[in-house]
Amino acid sequence: MKILELDQNDLNAAYYDPAEDKVGVRTPNQTRKPVLTLKHLNRLKKVRALRKLEKLKREDLLTIMYAPADPAAGGMGGPPGF
């Protein structure tokens, strides 16, 4: 489906609605943003490192899973034992 085939109601229902945005709304008694402490920053750093490690493991698994078939092993690259 192309974007030109969608009508305006479909576009408005599926995407960002500024009226429902509560993240950037500030009240008059708020004078400061929440402070990011070293504890928060270290936790974010660990989360980023963990996600990077998981991505590398996933990529390694996919290279093994989708590696080209070895012609010396015989067969068409199907499951072992056939």
DSSP 48-78: HHHHHHHHHHHHHHHHHHTPPPPGGG-SSS-
Residue 39 has pLDDT above 70, yes or no: yes
46-73 pLDDT tens trace:
999 999 999 999 999 999 888 887 766 6
12-34 pLDDT tens trace:
566 667 777 777 777 788 777 77
